[in-house]
Amino acid sequence: MLSFKRAFKFIFCLTLVVGLVKVGYSEQNQGLSDSGGLMSSSQSGELSFTLPYEGLSAKLGKRFIKGHEQFDEIWVLAPAPGVWGLGPTFNEANCVGCHPKNSRAQPAKDGAEIEKGNVIKLGHRGAKGEVVPSHPWYGDQLQNRAAENRVPIEGNAQVTFEYSQFTYPDNTSVTLKRPIIRVKNLNFGDLDESTVVSMRIAPQVIGLGLLEWVSEQNLLEIAERQKKEGLSGRPNYVIDLETERAVIGRFGWKAAQPNLKQQTAVAFHSDIGATTFFFPEKNCPQIQVGCRELPSAAKCGGQGGCTGNNFRPEVLPSRLKNITTYLQALNIPERRIEDPEETLAGEILFRDSGCASCHVPTLVTGENTILKELNNMSFHPYTDLLIHDMGEQLSDHRPEGSATGQEWRTPPLWGIGLVNTISGSLGLLHDGRAASIEEAILWHGGEALSSRQKFVDLAKPERERVIKFINSL
Ligand code: HEC
Ligand code: HEC
């Protein structure tokens, strides 16, 4: 009996291997466990999103540790003891407050206030219907907290869900929920129909260094390849504020930020309220006089007090550098492949359903990594960093860079299987609406519609294999 089982297993594997070699799929390095190449770690516990690449030099290692401390550090309003520069309006007082253990935030709950890692981005529709990604009174993000007793909050928002039922051809059904946002307690005037509201969940922040180091050429080649497959993935060109050049955006749900340093500066400005050389002005729209006039650390030169007229940002460049290094050097947990046959079968179905066209298994770093041995290294994030039209159901009607309301960056799928363990809940897609991988797939539309249909047409055990595969990433 045993030997039969073994023989069966052997033949099964052989068939898979032959199948893979035949289609050249093995070149993609499938089935291997080290998603991050050299930047992989074997731990898969609660802290597995916080581990550094082990080959860091002493200097970078120190910077990583500092960066970790500063990612966690709580900002305060001057003159309270602590790091000055919070607010006057803000959403959270530290990075980790929204990216718990570097993982995804908890999704917003039905009927509750939107907070802690879920933010509301605003836009404004002009007379001709064009939308600018900012509101004249409230700016580009609604700040639901402020310097207590000194400055009013901008307002807050509440989410309720609209539920619907999806039924597969085999009669299995799944409940889907779509968020309806209600903005309330507004202190600077009501929002009218011209306002565009977009909820975003804070994603996990792992393996981002690798994504930053992929060459533009590599991404453009993928976009070319996709054209031939009838997809229209394209880069979101955005301005790199340091070089003032248009470059490919990579970070954020619409790939609106080109690199980790700028992404960090944006976070300090919109989420925490602290100034940088990138954003020297406080995050206070014109109409919010109290916010503009509150004395801040920025005016007086950050931690150092007033030293002449030279502007010193609240976030000193060294801090930005430390946090950037921290983000760059975070490892990817190895895959957890408990049932290799099922997982590999799921992986093939994933490819055959067209998922791998956007969730591209393998990318390669360029020549400018922080350490030489990471140059030209293959790794497996399951993203193309390109933006895709995902259909009306996922649209937030708010453009960002060259991305339209319907366009979103393909999110990397690595680590997704651990989010539930680490965050204690799973909120997939840009607004966290999907509580499972299956729900996330069912929301795919637009360019991904035919791929979604292929998934829907699979038999239940096959669908389960696809999900098992994604959970192993
Ligand atoms: C108030 C909550 C909040 C705080 C505080 C916050 N973030 Fe975020 N973060 C988000 C959200 C929401 C997004 C998604 C943004 C988007 O797509 O619009 C995000 C995105 C990111 C990304 C991009 C990840 C990716 O996969 O593209 C990085 C990196 C990041 N944040 C780092 C930081 C750092 C560093 C800090 C502290 C300086 C910070 N965040 C503070 C909510 C927060
Ligand atoms: C046309 C490109 C494209 C195709 C094809 C595609 N996806 Fe996606 N996928 C995306 C984009 C873009 C998002 C983000 C959408 C959003 O946040 O609103 C996404 C989101 C996801 C997510 C949620 C990830 C997260 O971090 O929240 C999962 C899981 C996923 N896709 C799995 C699949 C599977 C499985 C297939 C095949 C059946 C597939 N995708 C096909 C582009 C694609």
Q: Could you give the CA distance from residue 232 to residue 225 in angstroms, rounded to a whole number?
A: 10
Ligand number, closest to the Cα atom of 115: 1
> What is the per-residue pLDDT for 11?
42
In terms of pTM, does the model score above 0.85? yes
> What is the per-residue pLDDT for 5?
46
Distance from the alpha carbon of residue 31 to the mean position of ligand 1, in angstroms: 31
Distance from the alpha carbon of residue 463 to the mean position of ligand 1, in angstroms: 32
Atom number, ligand 1, closest to the C-alpha of residue 326: 35
Q: Could you give the CA distance from residue 50 to residue 208 in angstroms, rounded to a whole number?
A: 12
> What is the per-residue pLDDT for 388?
98
Rounded to 10 deg, the angle between the 340-352 and 460-471 helix axes is 100
Strands 118-125 and 131-132: antiparallel
Q: Could you give the CA distance from residue 200 to residue 432 in angstroms, rounded to a whole number?
A: 7
Domain boundaries, the chain: 28-471
Q: Could you give the CA distance from residue 115 to residue 153 in angstroms, rounded to a whole number?
A: 13
For residue 117, give the amino acid letter: G
- Ligand 1 probe mutation, 74, 95, 113, 327, most atoms within 8 A of CB: 95
> What is the per-residue pLDDT for 308?
53
- β-partners of residue 248 are 237
- pLDDT truncated to tens, each residue of the chain (473 aa)? 444 445 444 444 444 444 444 343 444 445 578 999 999 999 999 999 999 999 999 999 999 999 999 999 999 988 888 899 999 999 999 999 999 999 999 999 999 999 999 999 999 999 898 999 999 999 999 999 999 889 999 999 999 999 999 999 999 999 999 999 999 999 999 998 899 999 999 999 999 999 999 999 999 999 999 999 999 999 999 999 999 999 999 999 999 999 999 999 999 999 999 999 999 999 999 999 999 988 766 555 444 455 555 688 999 999 999 999 999 999 999 999 989 999 999 999 999 999 999 999 999 999 999 999 999 999 999 999 999 999 999 999 999 999 999 999 999 999 999 999 999 999 999 999 999 999 999 999 999 999 999 999 999 999 999 999 999 99
Distance of CA 177 to the CA centre of its chain: 21
> What is the per-residue pLDDT for 30?
59
Q: Is 200 in the pocket of ligand 1 (CB under 6 A)?
A: yes
- Ligand 2 probe mutation, 227, 441, 464, 470, most atoms within 8 A of CB: 441
